[in-house]
Amino acid sequence: DILMTQTPISLSVTPGQPASISCKSSQSLLHSDGKTYLDWYLQKPGQSPQLLIYEVSNRFSAVPDRFSGSGSGTDFTLKISRVEAEDVGVYYCMQSIQHTFGQGTRLEIK
Amino acid sequence: EVQLLESGGGLVQPGDSLRLSCAASGFSFGSYAMTWVRQAPGKGLEWVSGISGSGATTYYADSVKGRFSISRDNSRNTVYLQINSLRVEDTAVYYCAKADIVLMVFASFDYWGQGALVTVSS
């Protein structure tokens, strides 16, 4: 099984400042088709999860461009260039080969 | 607009069975895989099951294999999750989600329902 590990578990960010979340997989998520199957989801307080980023770096429909994803193989990063109050919630990475999630990273506003 | 509406949750006793339903609208239902993801109280997300667009292929997490059964009725735009021999540790919000492709493998989950709470307690 592919295990996903996120760091940090939580972070507190001042509005307008950047934020970064790391996700590491126990096996490479690069497939022979050349694609890497790593997604990012955000669960805002009291809401269902929502897709932010798919295949490492592709923003889903209507996701603001302050969100960006990068990485390769087993190491991935979600970056928020300028955190806004509406970005509060728990961020999860998920490998979409076997569909396991990281444990989540809670983002709060300072 | 894509909409997913779960139903069938509730309070049940250990050992009971339950069937969750997810009614979909706003997209060509049979052209996409569907999946169930659960979240225990205060915990993270756990993928539990998925089904291909045609219904021919089903997938299960090891933790639920043998007790959970996923199915779909493309004429009713509905996906189901049958849960047997319920355990206290099955207590969770169960989310239905749409995959972005017809098969589960390599699928991202682009739309989610509001969730159905299943509470297993004696």
Residues of A in Cβ contact (< 8 Å) with B59: 99
Task: For A26-88, list the strands marked E by DSSP.
Answer: 38-43, 49-54, 58-59, 67-72, 75-80
Give the pLDDT score at B104: 87
In angstroms, the CA A57 to CA A35 distance is 11
Q: Which residues pair with B59 in a beta bridge?
A: B50
Residues of B in Cβ contact (< 8 Å) with A43: 45
- Asked if the Cβ–Cβ distance from A1 to B115 is below 8 Å, we say no
**Out of B44, B105, B107, closest to residue A101 by CB:** B44
What is the full per-residue pLDDT of chain A (110 aa) written as tens digits? 999 999 999 999 999 999 999 999 999 999 999 999 999 999 999 999 999 999 999 999 999 999 999 999 999 999 999 999 999 999 999 999 999 999 999 999 99
3-state secondary structure of B54: coil
A108 touches A100 (CB < 8 A): no
Q: B63-81, pLDDT tens digit by residue?
A: 999 999 999 999 999 999 9
CA–CA distance from B31 to each of A16, A21, B65 (Å)? 41, 33, 25
Closest CA to A38 of A52, A49, A20: A52
Residues of A in Cβ contact (< 8 Å) with B106: 31, 35, 37, 96-97
**Out of B45, B108, B114, closest to residue A92 by CB:** B45
pLDDT under 50: residue ranges of chain B? none
- How close A1 comes to chain B (CA, Å)? 10
